[in-house]
Structure 1
Amino acid sequence: MDFRPQSAFLIATLVVVNIIWWMVMIGAIALGATHLDRCPVQPHIPIYLIVMGATSILSLIFTYSTKMDGVIHVLSTACMTVLHIFSFAWLIAGTSWVYAVYPPDYSEGDLYCHKMTYLFAFVITTLMWVAVSLIFICGCCVALLTCCTTAVARHHLIPNRNSFYGATSSSQQPAAGDV
């Protein structure tokens, strides 16, 4: 592992992003719980917000506890992995619930949805898909760069048939009796 000191800007950015994400997820829980029965057109949307907020907060807590050693580290990493897999599946389910009723009727009646609840779920779901897409694209770029670097390094490490290990020059030929 690389234990280089991090820049102050990077640490400050991570702290600010974490604080904002905590506030958004607490807001998701509060908004979903407050308007639990105020979206008859798709009653799963407030539940989606509550569960998404709770799993995100739990995931952040496990992220902070991965600095420990031993069994606690293994357990928190396993729990965090399960939470991430569940959160991705929950995002897919929430996407089908939120986007299926776009745009809902905001005026109270039989088939309406509370405007703030729906718009919050719509924006958060869209932002999470943007983040997942960016992570996927960046991961593919890193994988491609790693493959290209490995291929170039492999080309330099494998000798051709006219060279031998320990040679100082590629033009040096072994003597006839040295085989």
Structure 2
Amino acid sequence: MEGRTQSATATSSLVVGNIIWWMVMIAAIGVGATHIKSCPVQPFIPIYLSVLGAASIISLILTYSQRISESGIIYILISICMSFLHIFTFCWIIAGSYWVYTEYPPSYTPATARYCQKTTFQFAFVLTTLVWVMMALSFCCGGCYIVFACCCGTLSARHRLSPNRNTFYGGTDGAQGGAAGDV
């Protein structure tokens, strides 16, 4: 991590966020695997949880591995694998959203036709909703950051290009207050 300086707050927030995400994804695998036959209304919901958890954990492991080898063929291979994994995970979240949201609300009584085990369905519903909220926030914050960076860059460039009251365009001697680029 040479050349990368991070504040202690940012680093600790990243570590805590990673730990929480690891725990949630391990729980997703556990809930999905434990209740694999407990959701007859939509049998793909437990599978969705297990696969989403496994794909996220593999993605985290690849991210950590990529940080270790910052150059070379291993870095390129890990980047390619991560790209495919991210595309797969995004498509899997779309499919899981369809499976979860089309069955809302299921029956939590085992004898009924629309039965799904309560923990499994609610975990899938909350996890899917949180993933969409996090993606929306990421895109909004990223978009705001890009707009802010572009505006600041434009303001900075405008400040350098516009003359102040002591300069004048086309001035040839220092008596006029200097060149147009001086601020």
TM-score (norm: length of structure 2): 0.82
Query: Deviation string for 1:53-94 (max 9, x for gaps)?
Result: 011001000110112021111111121122112111111111
Matched, 1:130 2:133: yes
Structure-2 separation of matches of 1:61 and 1:144: 32
Check if 1:59 corresponds to 2:67: no
State the partner residue of 1:146: 149
**Structure 1 partner of 2:82:** 80
What is the deviation of 1:153? Answer: 3.5
Which residue of 112, 119, 122 corresponds with 1:119?
122
Q: Equivalences for 1:28-47 in 2 at 5 Å?
A: 28-47=28-47
CA contact (8 A) 2:171 2:179 kept: no
Instruction: Tell me which amino acid in the other structure corresponds to 1:122.
Output: F
Distance 1:159 1:23, change over 3 A: closer
The share of aligned pairs that are identical, in percent, is: 51
Letter in 1 for 2:89: S
Checking the alignment, whether the CA contact within 8 Å between 2:100 and 2:124 is kept in structure 1 is yes
User: Structure 1: which 5+ residue stretches go unaligned?
Assistant: 171-179
Q: Which runs of 5+ in 2 are unaligned?
A: none
Taking structure 1 as the reference length, what is the TM-score of the superposition?
0.84
More displaced stretch, 101-110 vs 112-121: 101-110
2:179 is aligned to 169
Q: CA separation of 1:8/1:154 partners in 2, compared to 1, >3 Å: closer, same or farther?
A: closer
- Partner of 1:91, secondary structure, is helix
CA distance in 2, matches of 1:36, 1:125: 18
Q: Secondary structure at the match of 1:169?
A: coil
Q: Hey, what's the Cα distance between the residues in 2 that align with 1:113 and 1:96?
A: 15
Change (3 A) 1:119 1:164: farther
Q: CA deviation at 1:158?
A: 5.1
Q: Which residue identity does 1:47 align to in structure 2?
A: I
Counterpart code for 2:158:
H
CA distance in 1, matches of 2:119, 2:171: 72
**SS of match in other structure, 1:11:** helix
Using the TM superposition, give the Cα deviation of residue 101 of structure 1 relative to its aligned residue in structure 2, in angstroms. Answer: 0.9
- Give the whole-Å Cα distance in 1 for the aligned partners of 2:76 and 2:133: 30
CA RMSD of aligned residues (A): 2.5
C-alpha separation in 2, matches of 1:30 and 1:93 = 20
Contact 2:41–2:115 (Cα < 8 Å) also in 1 = yes
1:6 deviation in Å? 2.5
Q: Counterparts of 1:8 and 1:152 in 2: how far apart (Å)? A: 31
Q: Residue 38 of structure 2 aligns to a residue in which SS?
A: coil
Give the Å deviation of 1:164.
7.7
Letter in 2 for 1:114: Q
Deviation at residue 2 of structure 1 after TM alignment:
7.9
